[in-house]
Structures are given as C-alpha cells and as structure tokens.
Amino acid sequence: MFAEAIDLYDPKEIEPKWQQVWADQRTFAVANPDPGEDADPDHFYMLEMLPYPSGVLHMGHVLNYTMGDVLTYFRRRQGYRVLRPMGFDSFGLPAENAAIREGAHPREITERNIASIRKQMRRLGWHIDWDREVSAHEPEYYRWTQWLFLKFYEEDLAYRAEAPVNWCPNDQTVLANEQVIDGRCERCGAEVEAKSLEQWFFRITAYADELRRYDGVVSWPERTMAIQRNWIGRSEGAELLFRVDELDLDIPVFTTRPDTVFGATFFVLAPEHPLARRLAEGTAAEDAVNEYVKRTAAARGEERLAADREKTGVFTGRYAINPATDEPIPIWIADYVLMDYGTGAIMGVPAHDERDFEFAQAFGLPVVTVVEPEDGGDAEEEAFVAHSEGERLVNSGQFTGLPAPEGARAIVEWLASTGRGRPAISFRLRDWGFSRQRYWGCPIPIVYCEACGIVPVPEDELPVLLPEVEDYRPKGKPPLASNEEWMNVPCPRCGGPGRREADTMDTFVDSSWYFLRYCDPRNESAPWDRQIVDYWCPVDQYIGGIEHATGHLLYSRFFVKVLNDLGLLGFREPFARLFHQGWVRFAGTKMSKSRGNVIGPDELVEAHGADAVRLYVLSDSPPDQDRAWTDSGFEGTVRFIRKLWRVVIAAADADPSAEPTPLARKAHETIAKVSDDIDRRLHFHTAISAVRELVNELGDAPGDPAARFAAETAVSLLQPYTPHITAELWERLGHKTPVWEEPWPVADPALLVRETFQLVVQVNGRVRDRVEVEVGLAEEELVARAKALPRVQAHLDGKPIRDVIVVPGKLVNLVV
C-alpha cells in the first residue's frame, strides 16, 4: 500500500522539487571564461527572440522557448558550455496604452508583467541563466542604448531630417503605418494627414549592399534571405538631371533605362516631392496642384504603384529640358511616382514603361519609340513596346543602332561629360526612422541649443533618465515635452539655455543589441567587453518568427556591422544559424492575443505538469510548421508520460546487462535516430516518437535482460523535453550524477540493426544498377553510394553531374 503511494507519478510534487534543486545549485548559470583562460572552442550561444512583456505567456512562446530549451540541454550534455539567457523587450506602446487605460505607470505595469512571466518561465522548468536577465526599460540597460546612439551619431550614422509622417489631426499624434487603416486613424477614425516632421534616422542604407550578402552566416532559411534581399531591393541604372530654366533648377531622376532617355516625353514628380508646390507657384495650375497634393498624400505606397490603378495627376504649367533631346517636356505631379524611391521624380518614357504608357494614354501625352526588338519588329506608331532580348536603339541621335545595354552605357557617359548624368544604384531600402513621439521608450540623449545647434549629451552624463509626466497621451507634442523642468537644460557645450530632445527611440533600437549585452550584462563601464562578446558571438542558434525578417533581423545585422566597423566587436553577422518556428493553432486559427483564442499554459501545467506541456508542444509536427493543439493529442502525451513512469519504475529493479537482445538493439537504434534528428534538422517530433516506440517495446518486454538499459536510454533521451520526470526517474534508477549532467548517449554502431532496401540507381532516367543500402541514410549518403557503383561510373563517364533526384527509400537519378 505504502510502496504503491510512493510510486504514483505526481507532477505537482516532483516538478517544484527539481525546480528548487536547480535554483539551489544554480544549475542554469553559466560563467564567462576567465580572462586568462583558454577560450575553449566548445561553446554554444542559444538564443530565442526575447518576449515583449504584455500579459502572460501563450503557447507560441512555449513552443519557441521549449525548442531552445531542448537544444540547450542537448548541447550542454554533448559537452558544450552553453549560454542561454533571457530578457524583456520592455519599452513600447502596449504598456503605454495599458497605462492610459488603467491610470497606472507604464513601469509598474511592465514590471508586474515581467514578474509574472518570469514566474511562468520558471514553472515550465526552462534552462535559463537568470543572472543575465536584462530589460530594455532599466536605466542600466538604456544607458548603453543611448551610448550606442552617440557612437552612431559621431559617425554620422544617426542624423536628423525632415520626413513625412502619418498625422491624426484629431488625436494630435503621429501614427505608425500599422495604425492607419484605409487612410484613417485606427483609434478615432479621423482621416489621416501627411505632415512633415523633423525626425531621427539611422543610415542603414549605407550598408544596403552588404546587407544583401550573408558572409559569415552558416545557415539561414533561403526564404528569409530572399525576403530581406527583396526588401533592400537593388537596381542598377543612372541618375540624370533635367533642367527647369525658368526656376533655375536641376531635378534628378533615377532610371534603370537611361538608353530610353530620347523617348522621355514628360516628367513626373511625386506629390510629396519638396519641389511639387513650388513648381506650380504662380502658375494657373497652382490651386489644382495644391489640391492634388493634399488629396493623394495619404495613400499607401504599394497601392499607388499597382499597374492597374487608375492614373491620376496634374500638369504644373512648367517644363523641363530633356538633357538628350534638349526639348522642353511638361512637368506633372502624379501619385504613381513615390517619394521614397530613387529621387522621387521620373522621366516618363511611355513607349517602353507600362505605367508611363497608361499615364500618357490618360492625359494625351506623346509616345515616342526609342528601342526596337532585334528583328526590327513592326510596332505601330504610338504603341507600347515591351522590352526584349537583343533590342536596339532607334530615334536616339548618334546612338541609334546600338544594342540597348551598350546604348545605356554610351548615353550615360555622354551625359556625364556635360554633368547631366552619372551611373547610380538605387535601393528600395529607406533609412530607419527611429524617433517616436511617445513616452515609454529610451530618451534620445540630445540637447538643442540656439547657439550650438544639435548637441549630444556627454557620455559621462548618461543615462538621460526618462522623466515623470502627468499624461502619457501625446497632445500635439510628445509627452516628454510637457515636463518643462526636464526639458530645459543648459547646453552641454556653451552652457546657454538648451532644450532636450523630447522624442524617444523605437523599441527596435533596444532589441538590436540585447544579445550582446547578455554576454556581459553587469558591465558598468562599457556596454560589453569585446573579448567576452567575441567569445560567445555570433549566436550559434537563433529562433524566432519570420515576421521579423525586415525589421529586427535586419536592424540587428546593421548594428553588428557598424559595431564591427567601430572596433567594438570582431564579427559582422549576429546570428550564424536562424530558425523560424511555426504557429500553434487552436480550432484552426493562429493562437494570438489579438484574436482572443489563447490557451495559456498555466491551467495545463497546473493540471498535468510542465513536462506534459513541453513534450506535447514539440510532438507531431516539424517545428517550423504550424501545429494544431488538440485535447486528444495532449491527453495522449499525458498518458505516455504516466506509462514512462510505470515502465521505468518497473525496470529499476532489473540488473544491468550487456546482452544484445532486440530490445537493446532498439535502444541503440533510438539513440542514433534521436541524436541525428535533433542535430541535423531540429526534428523534435520524430525524435519524440522514436522514444515513444522504445518505451512501448519496453512495456511489452518487462523481463527482457536489457530492460534496465532500455529504461535508462529512454529517460536519458527524453531529458531535454521532460527535465523533471527524467530527473526523478534517473535518481530512482539509482544514479548519483543527475541526468542533466550525464553525457549525451552514443549509440554502439555494432548494435545498430539496420534494415535495408534495394536502391535503384538511374543515370539520365535509365536504370543502370541496384544496391542494398540501410534504411534511414541521409540523401547525400545515398547519392554517394550510387556514384560509387562501377556500372554507374561507367555511364557517368567523368561528366559533371548537373542534377540529382532522390526518392527516399527508392531511387537516385543522376542527371549529366
């Protein structure tokens, strides 16, 4: 009776017990190498994107951080020194909005949330070095965010410029793009206006070219690199100058087709172009232009660019000189030209650019063909001629007859000789506007002085502390500006009256360097010690959502490149390997807070234990794919854990035996599979199901001489997923060393029973040979075996292989 009771699996008992052991023994703390110490090569930096401390954790977090946890234990038990820190992205709008709603201070709300998330994280048993915790809103952290800003400022990589913002006239506030819905303010529905404001920018475009390369990246998803490259967007072409004599102005345009300049029959400025209103001043078109500029400015870029959008525009009454033909062409304002691409102005070449053609059709502008297909073509007059391979210039003065690419080069050279053109590259990427007219963010350490202008706050006066204000709501000016006492400071340079910068920083600035601070989180004299950062970084494995591809993941890469140029660290890419986890779905939709369909982990942990939640969230699906949380699936995992407990306890009395029974072979097989699944592919789900099979076989063969070995193997392999129950079972199996300190098991190759199958080998689709191979070999291995066959080699005949098709479990086809 008594023995029965002891042996009952009770997560409520064992989970807190082991969490206490880990806390007491500081199991998760990892030390930096001592200054003199040989930097051991076997270290591993495991990082997941840090959470924003709104409310509580949801299942998406549980998936993300459990993956990181499994890898942390796995590498640790393979002998690596593993850094696995945690912190909070704790500045930002949601806390501020909650503060406005609840009337509490954003700091209070933020810290309350952090405390409860930290508690949840401990309750899930995650292997986190809490000694390294940092939060963006702590002065000890943002002091260095400000310090980094000053470094960027010194290098002219942070600058202030006027730029258009979305302005809500009712709320008297700047809106982020996400806060504008169909041209209206998300909060009050008022029509959003374009307004020009002085703002702070990081010169990320200075790194545009390098950001499209990934030197130093070991493994990033192709898709993510493609998204970033596309976002950065690189076009080669030329900048040409068009002259407006009446106003003594030269306006540059960016074109990818300078060879078509003889066909430029009109000129277009974006409505936001600083010259738009000025050009029309005093002409009959003045009112129409002003009206058009006001009406169109709020439309979003992507919709304006759409080819099938109805073209609108107004003629300014002015003319520019086509630098190639010397003819005056009319200047229009139209919203299909965007201010934030190229120079915000274009030459209209209606014969060869589709949007220009539609515009010319709509407004009766002339169409002049200047390139023709190779065969001369028989294009009608005044028609659109699509570009084609081998096209040649026509109607282009001395350049007529040249192939288009050559013509482009020659025309740019010719225009360059009179200062009217030069080769140019245009990026889609814009500089990163990072000032926010908000309260809950990092203050920008700048003072404005009437005599000295923009004056940085001296380093030894950092941090510029975030002041208290009465109202977090922006009312025509940023909230910080309402604290007069704080705003007025002596100029650090001349001592005269100065005013502080009242904007705060975008929270993406905070998260662009947090992974560096984790390495050396309590450093009071520098943001980090370079030697320590160089020891740990780049991050060996980063896990987080793909939605950050064009934000956080790009900004962090930019920061690291700049910091490397400043000599503050010794690498140029922050994240060697990157992995995007899938979503946890419930009832067919994404689980997310905004959808209100969140099942929190708390109730489930309470009822069934953290181990069950951790194990289930990684079961069933590859980790980069979405998964459905089902009650029946979860119950299956709960049943499995109980079975594990029973079967292992039953085997605890068995003697160790080295007999190679089928069960022993199965155990070795499982070790090999699980290690490979985690190591190469992060396929936790197949690893888990392999261990479940082993436990089932053990359950069916309780008297097997290898029962004890099988039980120990199952416990050891499951340890990263279910650290509590495995710690308990390991102890009950009689071990003194805790299971998380055990080296990761290694399979005995002699005991690997490998089933085989007949691999068909084809060359150019024709069967040339067959060979018996083991089940489960990697594709590269299958190809290697196929290539090694003499009969196949005879058919390859030393020719280079152009393509390889592998049908796993069946055939390899080599294409030469």
Binding site for ligand ANZ (CB under 6 A): 235, 254-257, 260, 270, 337-338, 341-342, 344, 346-347, 349, 352-353, 426
> Based on CB atoms, which residue is closest to ligand ANZ, 228 or 637?
228
In the complex, the smallest distance separating the C-beta of residue 502 from Zn ion, rounded to whole angstroms, is 18
Rule CB under 5 A: which of 473-512 touch Zn ion? 491, 493-494, 496
Shortest separation between residue 446's beta carbon and Zn ion, angstroms:
12
Residue 133's contacts (CB-CB under 8 Å, 6 or more residues apart) are 85, 86, 87, 88, 118, 521
Residue closer to ligand ANZ, measured from CB, 304 or 646: 304
Give the nearest distance from C-beta 161 to Zn ion in angstroms. 21
**Quick one: what does residue 254 bind among ligand ANZ, Zn ion, none, with the CB cut-off 5 to 8 Å set by partner type?**
ligand ANZ
Eight-state DSSP code of residue 539: B
Using the minimum distance from each CB to Zn ion, give the nearer residue, 497 or 600: 497
> Of Zn ion, ligand ANZ, none, which one sits near residue 452, judging by CB under 5 to 8 A according to partner kind?
Zn ion
652 binds, among Zn ion, ligand ANZ, none (CB under 5 to 8 A by kind): none
Residue 712, amino acid: E
Residue 347 touches which of Zn ion, ligand ANZ, none (CB < 5 to 8 A by kind)? ligand ANZ
Residue 451 binds which of ligand ANZ, Zn ion, none (CB < 5-8 A, kind-dependent) = Zn ion
Nearer to ligand ANZ, 293 or 481 (CB): 293
Say how far apart CA 28 and CA 595 lie, in whole Å: 35
**122: closest CA among 111, 133, 136?**
133
Measured CA distances, 368 to 255, 384, 730 (Å): 17, 9, 83
| CB of 255 or CB of 265, closer to ligand ANZ | 255
Nearer of residues 182 and 450 to Zn ion, judged by Cβ: 450
Question: Which of ligand ANZ, Zn ion, none interacts with 145 (beta carbon under 5 to 8 A by kind)?
Answer: none
161: phi then psi, degrees, rounded to nearest 5? -155, 160
In angstroms, what is the minimal distance from the CB of 313 to ligand ANZ? 12
CB of 496 to Zn ion, least distance (A): 5
Rounded CA separation 601/596 (Å): 15
Q: How far is the CB of 501 from Zn ion (least distance, A)?
A: 14
What length is written for the chain?
A: 816
Structure tokens at 214: 């990934």
Q: If DSSP states are collapsed to H, E and C, what string results for 432-470?
A: EECEECCCCCCECCEEEECCCEEEECCHHHCCCCCCCCC
| Beta-strand relationship, 578-579 and 541-543 | parallel
Q: Which of residues 430-469 bind Zn ion (CB under 5 A)?
A: 449, 451-452
Place of tokens 């810290």: 111
User: At its nearest, how many Å lie between ligand ANZ and the CB of residue 90?
Assistant: 38
Task: Find the radius of gyration of the CA atoms of the chain.
Answer: 33
Q: DSSP for 220-250? A: --HHHHHHHHHHH-EEEEEEEEEEEGGGTEE
Nearest approach in angstroms of CB 258 to ligand ANZ is 8
Extract the runs of DSSP E, i.e. beta strands, from 661-800.
756-763, 766-774
257 binds, among ligand ANZ, Zn ion, none (CB under 5 to 8 A by kind): ligand ANZ
Residue 337's binding partner, choosing from ligand ANZ, Zn ion, none, with beta-carbon cut-off 5 to 8 A by kind? Answer: ligand ANZ
CB of 480 to Zn ion, least distance (A): 20
Residue placing its CB nearer to ligand ANZ in the complex, 342 or 407: 342
647-681 burial: b if 16+ Cβ within 10 Å, else e: bbbbbeebeeeeeebebbbbbbbbbbbbbbbbeee
Strand 432-433's sheet: what is its strand order? 173-175, 158-168, 193-202, 432-433
Q: How far is the CB of 519 from ligand ANZ (least distance, A)?
A: 40
- Helix or strand or coil: residue 701? coil
Q: How far apart are CA 769 and CA 780, in angstroms?
A: 18
- For residues 491 and 761, which CB has a smaller minimum distance to Zn ion in the complex? 491
Segment holding 165, helix H or strand E: strand 158-168
CA distances from 50 to 129, 402, 802 (A): 14, 57, 43
Q: Which amino acid is at 114?
A: I
In sign, the C-alpha dihedral spanning 163, 165, 169, 173 is negative
Residue 491 binding result from Zn ion, ligand ANZ, none, given CB thresholds of 5 to 8 Å by partner type? Zn ion
Q: State the Cα–Cα distance between residues 359 and 646, nearest whole angstrom.
A: 77
Nearer to ligand ANZ, 218 or 306 (CB): 306
Task: Kindly state the smallest distance separating residue 506's Cβ from ligand ANZ, in Å.
Answer: 25
| Shortest CB 235 distance to ligand ANZ, Å | 3
719 binds, among ligand ANZ, Zn ion, none (CB under 5 to 8 A by kind): none
Comparison of 141 and 336: residue with beta carbon closer to ligand ANZ: 336
> Nearer to ligand ANZ by C-beta: 106 or 330?
330
Q: Judged by CB, which is closer to ligand ANZ: 293, or 347? A: 347
Three-class DSSP category at 253: strand
Binding partner of residue 572 among Zn ion, ligand ANZ, none, CB cut-off 5 to 8 Å per kind: none
Q: Which does 260 bind (CB under 5 to 8 A by kind): Zn ion, ligand ANZ, none?
A: ligand ANZ
Which residues here bind Zn ion, judged by CB under 5 A? 449, 451-452, 491, 493-494, 496
